[in-house]
Amino acid sequence: MKIVVSDCDHESMKIEKDILAAAGLDFDHKVARTEDEVIAQCKGGNIILNQYGKFDDRVFTALPEVKQIVRYGVGVDNIDLEAATRHGVQICNVPDYGMHEVSDHALALMLSLIRKIPATIDQTRRREWDFRQMAPIRRITDMTIGVLGGGRIGGLFAKKALPLAKEVIVFDPYKTELEAATPGVKQVDFEELLSKADVLSIHCPLSDETRGLISAEALKRMKPGAIIINTARGGIVDEAALAEQLLSGALGGAALDCISKEPITQDSPLLDMANVFITPHMAYYSEESSQELKRKVAEEAVRFAKGEPVHYPVNKPAV
């Protein structure tokens, strides 16, 4: 089978090259992100290793040779899954490569916001010494931490947050045994999540169902002074509405590792707010997770090329 890397901005492809070569396979490395670029550059490819390139019905129609796409990452919102399934294309991802990194990043952002760590560091760098400027700071053990999405990462975040908080509550309509799997976690509906959470950490995928889920109305139903952490996907939170609630003082702060349009525009009001932390979509990153991702992408391609069952199927192709 012919393997094509539609796009990958990593410094090296050595890990993939070594794994594929050991299986007698090679690849062409392209830089194709738009639909037109993918169509023009990926012709003849049977297996596509994909990072940001867009795949929709038009692309699948133009590239009938494509049989598998393996995405560098967890989210597959740049791929039309319904179209892929109709065209008989197996979509795979790597859902477990950065679980600890993302949950740790969310936890670090949460603690930094609550304890106002960056502000205190800025203060001492100015040669000032007055903790009273940081008031008020709340006790974490009196807080309720809410988790939106109880999958691999959300579940891991909930477990890590349990010893810190008064309680941890989770909303996920597709996970019915969260309380049994994680003793101490309480499963709630969406309204209770919004109304009770002092901290809301978002860990659900971006889909038609979740796009704009944390809307202006949802934000207004949150507790006064609540903070929001998003290490999942931009687009789940209405960022304009979030800015309004922060400016009004209704919410206490936000920490975002992902923005609906990346990189964030320089005129975004969020960039000028002291109670907003923005990191450059890096929650998944560590040296170890990056190497694991590359290895698992290549191994999944090898399995498919050999006719073996894949480990991380996202869909069930029609043909």
Beta strands across the sheet bearing 276-278: 185-187, 167-171, 144-148, 199-202, 227-230, 253-256, 276-278
Show the DSSP H helices in the chain as ranges. 14-22, 35-41, 57-62, 81-86, 99-115, 117-125, 152-161, 178-181, 190-196, 216-220, 239-248, 287-305
Tell me the pTM: 0.92
Q: In degrees rounded to 5, what are phi and psi of residue 109?
A: -65, -40
Tell me the β-bridge partners of 55.
79
Q: Where in the chain is the domain with CATH 3.40.50.720?
A: 3-95+287-305, 99-278
From residue 87, give the alpha-carbon distance in Å to each of 66, 83, 176, 220, 252: 9, 6, 32, 42, 47
pLDDT of amino acid 176: 84
152 among known catalytic residues:
no
Q: Which of 33, 71, 233, 303 is catalytic?
A: 233
Does 3-95+287-305 carry CATH code 3.40.50.720?
yes
Q: Which of 262, 288, 308, 311 is catalytic?
A: 262
Low-confidence spans in the chain with pLDDT less than 70: 319
CA atoms within 13 A on the CB side of 112: 20
281 among known catalytic residues:
yes
pLDDT of amino acid 319: 64
Closest C-alpha to 291, from 105, 97, 103, 152: 97
Closest C-alpha to 283, from 228, 227, 214, 230: 230
Does 99-278 carry CATH code 1.20.1090.10?
no
179 among known catalytic residues:
no
